[in-house]
Structure 1
Amino acid sequence: MTSFCLSDVMERAKYSTNTKYILLFIIVCLVISLALERIPDTYRKFMPPYKSMLMCSSQISDQTITPLDNTKHFMVSAFMDQRVKGFDIRIISIFRRDSIQPLHCLFCCVDHLSDTTPATVLVHSDHFDFPYGATDVMCQIPHNCNATHVTLMPHTMRSMNPMWLPLRNKKTHEKYTSFEFNFTVCISALFGGYNNVLQFAQTLEIYRLLGVGRVVVYNNSGGPELSRLLHSYSQEGLVELVQWPIHNYLNPSHGWRLSVHGGDLQYYGQLVALNECIYRSMERSRYVLLNDIDEIIMPYQHDNLTSLMDTLQPQHPNTGVFIIQALVYPKKTTKESNKGYVDAWRQVPGFNILQRIYWEDRNDKQYHRHKMLVQPRFVEQTSVHYVLKLFGEKYKIPEQLCHIMHSVTKHLTERPLEELHLDKRLWDFKDRVIPRVTEMLRRAGLPSSEEEADE
């Protein structure tokens, strides 16, 4: 309302030299604006539509992390979610766990502002003891409200300038017959100037051949060369780049263990980003792969992930979470692995995963982490290696059918070659991957042997 009045004042000022008149008009505008902010919920529905919509449209957040006024909390994104009885909206958030107070949900409806409804705060059980944790705030839309945006308030009194989140996923309660993508990969989160360009490009191209149509990358601070590569892939449409400036609001941890790494929030908000990615993909992708960029979920008895899941899903119709075991592929320079060397890539930052063709046996006495391929509609909350809340069943895929190829950067144990197992599965894609990677590096302006030969 204030912005509406001020724009009117500027228009009137063009045709009036009466300063007293203009000042009086400004004062009247401010008084009306303050009065509107304090109209009780019961009567707010009778406000003229243009006034209520003006309040909604004036402060729509365009950020991925939005501070919640008068709290220590942050909103990330809001989604329609009617899978849990009694609720319509789920707001993915980051909450200070020791500072949770009663909250209320306020909706911007098509033709009015809603009454407030009480919010239910659900802090995820997996927070690794950090002060801040991934949190869901559940809201119910009031009767007769065609909601478009939502915000949270720590009390029933209106905030002067609430930040509104647009509502996404208007069809999460429906059965989908088609999806824009069969597979989406969620990568969270790039930080610390991560710049393993060659591995990133190779992994993206292999996933493309496996049937992945979209890779969502939560980017905090990638290196300069990687940023150029991501920009090229974003323009092409394979990568959906989500800026993730968590360091502007909190002191994010560089690891998952509070006692070792310190900080406010685990691993630059990894858990928050994974959950956000699942909901971001719920209407668009049949499956979502939750793994790191140094991991490839690789089928061994099928040409691609589509044929793998077309086989598994009918056998396990109520399964929404498919668990996949990881095998470690350490760096091992041998005559055989050097056949994966590509001279044109020698100046590109990062390492060549085509040379990672040996995997090592696991120690059965240790816990071995796995990752997941999920149907997002079956998932309510997830952690990194397991789902916290789901609506369906889980199934562990046999290793001989599919496993994760984990090309580690650092490895504490150096094992002799005779203790490793040769695996050249990546080479089945080599002839198609090499030209594609070389072309994407060229588009990103990164060095190649051809360019160096011309110098």
Structure 2
Amino acid sequence: MMQKKLALVVGIGALTFLLMLRWEHVMTLVNLMSSKRPSAEPELPKGTITPIPGSRHLMVSAFKDHRLGGAIRVISIICKQELQPLYCVLCANAKADAKADAKADEALNQCAFSPAKVAVHSESFGFPFVTSDVFCMSPALQQATHVSITANPNANLTFVSIQNQEVKESFKYNFTVCISNLFGEYNNALQFVQTMEVYKLIGVQRVVIYNTSCGPDVEKILNYYRKEGMLEVVPWPIDKFLTPSTGWKYDLHHGDMHYYGQLTTLNECIYRYMYQSKYLLLNDIDEIIMPYKHANLEKLMGTLQQQHPNVGVFSIENHIFPKTQFDDSGRFRLPRWRSVPGVNILEHVYREPDRKHVFNPTKLLISPRSVEQTSVHSTLKQFGPVFNVPFDVCRIIHVRVPLQGQLSKDQLFVDKKLWEFEELLISSIDRALNESGVL
């Protein structure tokens, strides 16, 4: 009798749930449940970007978000003009979990189907394709190992593994730099090596780069740092799926998506290293987040976290060092570096003054557990307050084309912070150039 009553309650609950859904959701869920279930070994993507069947949307990677009750967050790229009902297929795969026992055999084809919730990020810079979170949650399958998103119940499904299955209190790395993407056959080899070696000296243990395309010299350097263990290179073939923009604003630069998907890769990096790194630095390849009152990043953050214990997002001012202005002494104009393509950042010690009437862009130094969504210069959703770090404590050394090109050298500030690392820096740069085969 008790079992019959329980079955009746469950049946009524399920019927109520179905009636609450829009009719097309109901029919799609019925079709999904009656279609062929995924095999014991779900088809996994061949790359880092996967089309969502029945749509123009793209799926990138999936993570369990323990801050949101274990919801599955699928980092995605959504065409906001073509929003449509999407559906999650969550599967528990015993072999993926490496628990091949009798009970696990029963779970091989265990899947749960549910409507997806799409959260389009508020920042898109006017482009039609937007970084988004597709949320999946099915109480029936809390132990899911793989997920697929679809708009077409009859399509062949491709699954991505669900990462961040467990919360971790200790981390492999203290400081990791997330560099959004390389594109346009980027071959600024000398600046890249110099930047990597500076980061080593101030305490960075890991750098993550999303690579669409790079030049031959940078390719050698990527291989060098990857073998060394400091660098993770994530393939990012966004140009195979969309027409990416080479600029930041749709009205000026056009294309499907902002800067080769920069916002997607930054958000992906946050979740990829959520439980691998204590802190993340979110900045471009030609920028260095540099402590000015502390010997390294660890001492900087020790002070900042002691002063602001509830802060997980630290905003760092960007300061331009024009690559058109050179140090007059020629101290670091080393003959052996002349054959290496790229900018020699040690020669550029003149810094532009702040323009009080112009917004000074910032980049971010964060605890990834404190961030839910980010843009380029600020977070979109975070847990807790944001602290703007004073520029005399920490600022970005950004060697690039000038923004105030009309200023003469004597109107700029002399800033030789990088020269403080000369003793160790020069030899380490030479070693990287030689061992990578660039020199």
TM-score tier after normalising by the smaller chain length: 0.7 to 0.9
Letter in structure 2 aligned against 1:313? Q
Displacement of 1:409: 3.5
**Structure-2 residue corresponding to 1:452:** none
Name which of 169, 176, 189 aligns with 1:177.
169
RMSD: 1.9
**Structure-2 residue corresponding to 1:333:** 326
**Structure-1 residue corresponding to 2:212:** 220
Tell me: CA distance 1:254–1:144, structure 2 relative to 1, closer, same or farther (3 Å). closer
Aligned mates of 1:333, 1:72 — CA distance in 2: 48
Q: Kindly, what percent of the aligned residue pairs are identical?
A: 44
Letter in structure 1 aligned against 2:64? M
Aligned 1:36-435 pairs, distance under 5 A:
41=33, 55-85=39-69, 88-109=71-92, 110=94, 111=107, 112-154=109-151, 157-159=153-155, 161-171=156-166, 174=167, 176-331=168-323, 332-336=325-329, 338-409=330-401, 411=403, 413-435=405-427
Displacement of 1:131: 1.0
SS state at 1:435 partner:
helix
Displacement of 1:141: 3.2
SS state at 2:196 partner:
helix
Aligned mates of 1:409, 1:69 — CA distance in 2: 43
Aligned mates of 2:75, 2:169 — CA distance in 1: 26
Instruction: Assess if the C-alpha contact under 8 Å between 2:203 and 2:296 holds in 1.
Output: yes
Aligned mates of 2:89, 2:116 — CA distance in 1: 10
Displacement of 1:340: 2.1
Aligned mates of 1:39, 1:73 — CA distance in 2: 21
Letter in structure 2 aligned against 1:386? S
Letter in structure 1 aligned against 2:420? D
Query: What per-residue deviation string (whole Å, max 9, x for no partner) do you get for residues 127-183 of structure 1?
Result: 01111010100110332442110001215x353x21000010112xx4x43110001
Aligned mates of 1:179, 1:436 — CA distance in 2: 27
TM-score (norm 2): 0.86
Instruction: Assess if the C-alpha contact under 8 Å between 1:56 and 1:108 holds in 2.
Output: no
Displacement of 1:189: 1.1
Query: What per-residue deviation string (whole Å, max 9, x for no partner) do you get for residues 237-295 of structure 1?
Result: 11100111011011000001111111000000000000001100101001110111111
Gaps of 5+ in 1: 1-36, 45-50, 448-455
Displacement of 1:357: 1.1
Quick check: which has more Rg, 1 or 2?
1
Letter in structure 1 aligned against 2:387? Y
Letter in structure 2 aligned against 1:72? R
Letter in structure 2 aligned against 1:294? D
SS state at 1:188 partner:
strand
SS state at 2:134 partner:
strand
Query: What per-residue deviation string (whole Å, max 9, x for no partner) do you get for residues 95-135 of structure 1?
Result: 11111111111111131332211110011110011110101
Displacement of 1:351: 1.2
Letter in structure 2 aligned against 1:267? Y
Instruction: Assess if the C-alpha contact under 8 Å between 2:327 and 2:349 holds in 1.
Output: no
Displacement of 1:40: 7.1
The 10-residue stretch of structure 1 (111-120 or 64-73) with the greater mean CA deviation from structure 2: 111-120
The total of aligned residue pairs comes to 396
Displacement of 1:56: 4.7
1:440 aligns with 2:432: yes
Tell me: CA distance 1:113–1:39, structure 2 relative to 1, closer, same or farther (3 Å). farther
Instruction: Assess if the C-alpha contact under 8 Å between 1:250 and 1:264 holds in 2.
Output: yes
Letter in structure 2 aligned against 1:333? F
Gaps of 5+ in 2: 1-28, 95-106
TM-score (norm 1): 0.84
**Structure-2 residue corresponding to 1:9:** none
SS state at 2:301 partner:
helix
Aligned mates of 1:312, 1:189 — CA distance in 2: 29
Instruction: Assess if the C-alpha contact under 8 Å between 2:327 and 2:348 holds in 1.
Output: no
SS state at 1:404 partner:
strand
Aligned mates of 2:425, 2:277 — CA distance in 1: 24
**Structure-1 residue corresponding to 2:15:** none
Aligned mates of 1:56, 1:63 — CA distance in 2: 21
Letter in structure 1 aligned against 2:129? Y
Instruction: Assess if the C-alpha contact under 8 Å between 1:89 and 1:141 holds in 2.
Output: no
Letter in structure 1 aligned against 2:424? R
- Following superposition, which runs of at least 4 residues in structure 1 exceed 3 angstroms of deviation? 37-41, 409-412
Letter in structure 1 aligned against 2:71? D
Instruction: Assess if the C-alpha contact under 8 Å between 2:321 and 2:402 holds in 1.
Output: no
Letter in structure 1 aligned against 2:133? D
Aligned mates of 1:165, 1:80 — CA distance in 2: 12
